[in-house]
Amino acid sequence: MPQSGPLLAKKSDSEDERQSSLLALLLLVTFEPLGNPLDFLQAQQRRMFFDILARKIHAQQESEKQKDKAIVSSSAAAQGASLAAMKITLVKKEEEREKEKQKAAHLPTIVYPHSASIEHAHERLAAEVDDYARGDSQKAKDALSEFESRLRSQGYKTDDVMAVMLLVIEDKVWEGDEGKPGGAQPGGSATKVQRLVPTKLREVAKDSGEARLASVREMLRYYFQAHPKDYALALAAALSLTSDQEEDTEFLQERLASELARIGGFAFAQKLLAELKRKKKMDTKKCLKELGYRYNVKEKTLILGKRTCGKPAEAKGIVGLLLSSIKKDDDE
């Protein structure tokens, strides 16, 4: 996961400052919006975008190998505190080497509109793929290929490229149990699914002109932005912190960096989701009401968590029911 953000407050800070500090960690464990820098690019520029992204992912993986070698020689106690800084330093060095390689190879220069946003998108997307692949170059290539394929099939019309990438990663992780990524087929009893879905959500789906599926991480971000106290609660539980450790946000930051390095952003988000549901006593219906969707009334656009609520069969059935409601409405 990308490590960024200001130095966090210490134990002596006020509760407001502490909550603000914790929210600075939200991007590390959920979803960082990037918009869609591909929307207005020409075909050649888009091709170069993916070529550069592939090279950045390779650079990330190479830097991880170097970081692992450096960590072996350091003490276990120092790993958590130095991990983020070490990763940033190595990534920067690798990116500098990659830029030199590009210059030496006389690669064509593509002039991008909004180049700063594209460079930032490259960095964040590459970091997410690297975090998912955990050094496996084939997994990284497969994720990037699927990412490009989905964007192309959509005519590069998406509200956020990171949202697409996170769902690609989630689908890749689950495809062994759920089949090939992309489709959400109904599962479980239709009557049971009907009972699980709140009336308001069914009405929203029928009223929607457009819908898209979203990853657990994206839906967690929307929820925690609206409920910051719940974020602090779930984060402390997911990190197995004691009550005195919860107050020390600097210690929490170090523990989080260590945990993200150990299991990755996808797995940690699953822990965070499980702890949130447990702490807030969310059954499937309550989860759907509070966490499972986001609706833009003005644009009549529904964002639906693909796996946020319910067991796997329930989640697939819920998504199938709601998407079919939208389709019927469009056909009439």
**Structural domain boundaries enclosing 112:** 33-177
The model's pTM is 0.79
Assess whether 141 and 96 both reside in one domain.
yes
Predicted confidence band at 105 (pLDDT cuts at 50, 70, 90)? very low
Q: What is the mean pLDDT of the segment spanning 225-248?
A: 89
Predicted confidence band at 73 (pLDDT cuts at 50, 70, 90)? low
The mean of the pLDDT values for the chain is 81
Which of the residue ranges 27-41, 137-151, 238-252 has the most confident prediction, judged by mean pLDDT?
A: 137-151
23 in a domain, yes or no? no
pLDDT at 28: 81
52 in a domain, yes or no? yes
Assess whether 163 and 294 both reside in one domain.
no
What is the per-residue pLDDT across 268-304, written as a single tens digit (0 to 9) for each?
A: 999 999 999 999 999 999 999 999 999 999 899 999 9
Quickly tell me which residue has 């992204």 as its tokens: 53
pLDDT at 26: 85
pLDDT at 241: 92
Q: Considering only 108-112, 260-264, 296-300, which range has the smallest mean pLDDT?
A: 108-112
Q: In this structure, are residues 292 and 304 in contact, taking their beta carbons and an 8 Å threshold?
A: yes
Q: In this structure, are residues 295 and 302 in contact, taking their beta carbons and an 8 Å threshold?
A: yes
Q: What is the mean pLDDT of the segment spanning 236-248?
A: 87
Assess whether 143 and 191 both reside in one domain.
no
Quick one: 272 exposed, middle or buried, by C-beta within 10 A (0-12, 13-18, 19+)? buried
Assess whether 131 and 195 both reside in one domain.
no
What is the per-residue pLDDT across 5-47, written as a single tens digit (0 to 9) for each?
A: 444 444 444 666 766 777 778 888 899 999 999 988 999 999 9
> How many domains does the chain contain in total?
2
User: What span, in angstroms and rounded, lies between the C-alpha atoms of 26 and 225?
Assistant: 9
pLDDT at 7: 40
